[in-house]
Structure 1
Amino acid sequence: MSQPVWFITGVSNGFGLLLTLRALKAGHRVIGTMRGKVKRTDVVQQIEAAGGEVIEMDMTESQESIHKKIKSVGPIDYLINNAGFSIFCCLEQMSEKEVNVQISTNVFGPVYAMQAALEGMRARRSGLIVNVSSIAAKDPLPTSALYAASKAALEAASESLAREVADLGISILIVNPGAFRTNFLGQLQLSENPLPDDYKNGVVGETIQKFASADGKQAGDPDKGVERIFEIVTGQGIAGELKGKVSRLVLGEDAFTRMKKNNDKFVHDFTIGEKVALSTAFD
Structure 2
Amino acid sequence: MSQPVWFITGVSNGFGLLLTLRALKAGHRVIGSLRNKATRTDVVHEIEAAGGEVMEMDMTESQESIHRKIKSVGRIDYLINNAGYAIFCCLEQMSEKEVNAQISTNVFGPIYAMQAALEGMRARRSGLIVNISSIAAKDPLPTSALYAASKAALEAASESLAKEVAGFGISVLIVNPGAFRTNFLGQLQLSENPMPDDYKGGLVGSVIHKFADADGKQAGDPDKGIERIFEIVTGEGMAGELKGKVLRLVLGEDAITRMKRNNDEFIHDFTVGEKVALSTAFD
Please list the CA deviations of residues 10-40 of structure 1 after superposition, one character each: whole Å capped at 9, or x if unmatched: 0000000000000000000000000000111
1:204 paired with 2:207, answer no
Where 1:149 maps in the other structure, the secondary structure is helix
Equivalent residues in 2 for 1:246-261 (5 A)? 246-261=246-261
Q: Which residue in 1 is equivalent to 2:84?
A: 84
1:234-245 alignment to 2 at 5 Å? Answer: 234-245=234-245
Cα distance in 1, alignment partners of residues 101 and 244 from structure 2 = 33
| Structure 1: runs of 5 or more not aligned | none
Gaps in structure 2 of 5+ consecutive residues: none
Corresponding position of 1:52: 52
User: Larger deviation: 134-143 or 267-276?
Assistant: 267-276
Q: Is 1:281–2:281 an aligned residue pair?
A: yes
- The Cα shift of 1:269 comes to 1.0
Show the 5 A alignment for 1:111-260: 111-260=111-260
Matching of residues 261-276 of structure 1 within 5 Å: 261-276=261-276
- How far apart are residue 272 of structure 1 and its match? 1.5
Question: Distance between the aligned counterparts of 1:163 and 1:244, measured in 2?
Answer: 13
Please state how far the C-alpha of 1:216 moved relative to its aligned partner: 0.2
Output the CA distance in 2 between the equivalents of 1:97 and 1:235: 41
1:26 aligns with 2:63: no
Per-residue deviation at 1:65?
Answer: 0.2
Count of paired positions: 283
Instruction: Output one character per residue of 1:94-126: Cα deviation in whole Å (capped at 9) or x when no partner.
Output: 000000000000000000000000000000000
Letter in 2 for 1:178: G
The two structures have a TM-score, normalised by structure 2, of 0.99
TM-score, normalised on structure 1? 0.99
Tell me how far apart the structure 2 counterparts of residues 133 and 106 of structure 1 sit (CA, whole Å).
9
* Equivalent in the alignment of 2:99: 99
Distance in 2 (alpha carbons) for counterparts of 1:277 and 1:270: 9
SS at match of 1:54: strand
Tell me the distance in 1 between the aligned counterparts of 2:271 and 2:246.
25
Structure 1 residue 273 displacement after superposition: 1.2
- Taking the aligned partners of 1:196 and 1:274, their CA distance within structure 2 comes to 39
Aligned CA RMSD, in angstroms, stands at 0.5
Amino acid at match of 1:53: E
Q: Which runs of 4+ in 1 moved over 4 A?
A: none
Q: Residue by residue, what CA displacement relative to the aligned partner does 1:166-194 show, whole Å, maximum 9, x if unpaired? A: 10100000000000000000000000000
Task: Give, as a single letter, the amino acid of the residue that structure 2 aligns with 1:97.
Answer: K
